[in-house]
Amino acid sequence: MSYDKLNDNQKRSIIQEYYIDKNQSFAQIAESQGTYANKVRRDAVKLGFKIRSKSEAQKLALTSGRHKHPTKGEKRSEEVKQKIGKGIMQSWDNLSIEQLHERRKKAKENWEKLSDEEKADITHKANLAVRKASDEGTKLEKFLLTKLINMGYKVEFHKEQFLSNTKLQIDLFLPIMNVAIEIDGPSHFEPIWGQDVLDKNVKYDNKKNGLIIGRGMVLIRIKQTKDYSAARAELISSRLISQLEAIDLNFPTVDNRYIEIGDENGES
């Protein structure tokens, strides 16, 4: 008997066996029953079956071998990775305020769905990452350090300086050029750890600015507002190198020795 002539109980039995128990797709069921996929899907909805989401269906297709993963086992060149990164970066930068708000709302909803144990685990790992970055330097610091060294600049990493009897650590210091580079994450300009911590960070940064510039150095502060990516790191490094080339040609006057570089996909 053809599928179209089956009664609801018979259809329910087929969908239960092949879609639920054997994890087949509607297309597979339709092929074996001599009908078309949308017909089987509509019947499944009508008969009260829970329909798999797109991501669940894709996962089943991959695990069953029906489809090949589009990228698994393939290695991308750095050039291709950076093009992909730039595309993602531009798509985020082009989002409207409403779209950003919607994504943040969705992220918050996903967080609220996690169990207390899952939340605690994620928070613990995040705190470990923050401490590790503080001890070893951030990805952006290391990227810029490597980039500058490869271009022939003499760079000292996390250089400790005594300025006016105050011990300071400079993220990247170029002694020959007399340039200090500070990479500032969001905690330097947003109350991530609370307003009191932000106020202390701003006060310390202002003091540090005065001590460094007062010593005759140029201070470049890189404002890292977004998560690290290779594409964004390249964007920042190109802006930094342009500033260093300008400083090398004409060392700034004392009123122009504080420079800020942003990571937005636009003018710095």
Q: 170 or 70, which is more confident?
A: 170
Instruction: Give the rounded percent of residues in the chain with a pLDDT score beyond 90.
Output: 24
Is the pTM value of this prediction over 0.85?
Answer: no
Q: 137 or 18, which is more confident?
A: 18
pLDDT (0 to 100) of residue 43: 93
DSSP label at residue 34? T
User: Any idea how long the chain is?
Assistant: 268
| Token pair belonging to 96 | 């409207």
- What is the rounded distance in angstroms from the CA atom of residue 155 to the CA atom of residue 138? 16
Domains of the chain: which residue ranges? Answer: 3-64, 78-135, 139-262
pLDDT (0 to 100) of residue 125: 63
| pLDDT > 70? residue 236 | yes
DSSP 187-238: GGTS-TT-HHHHHHHHHHHHHHHHHHHHTT-EEEEEE--S---HHHHHHHHH
Residue 259 has, within 13 A of its CA and on its CB side, a CA count of: 23
For residue 50, count CB atoms less than 10 angstroms from its CB and return exposed for 0-12, middle for 13-18, buried for 19 or more.
Answer: exposed
pLDDT (0 to 100) of residue 110: 75
- What is the rounded distance in angstroms from the CA atom of residue 173 to the CA atom of residue 157? 7
Quick: pLDDT tens for 145-169.
Answer: 988 988 888 888 888 876 767 778 8
| Token pair belonging to 133 | 């970055």
pLDDT (0 to 100) of residue 73: 57
Quick: pLDDT tens for 2-53.
Answer: 888 899 999 999 999 999 998 888 888 988 888 888 899 999 999 999 998 8
Amino acid at 131: R
For the segment(s) 139-262, the CATH number from 3.10.150.10, 3.50.50.60, 3.40.50.300, 3.40.960.10 is 3.40.960.10
pLDDT (0 to 100) of residue 267: 42
257 touches 213 (CB < 8 A): yes
Quick: pLDDT tens for 89-129.
Answer: 556 556 677 776 776 677 677 778 878 887 777 777 656 65
Q: How far is CA 81 from the centre of its chain?
A: 14
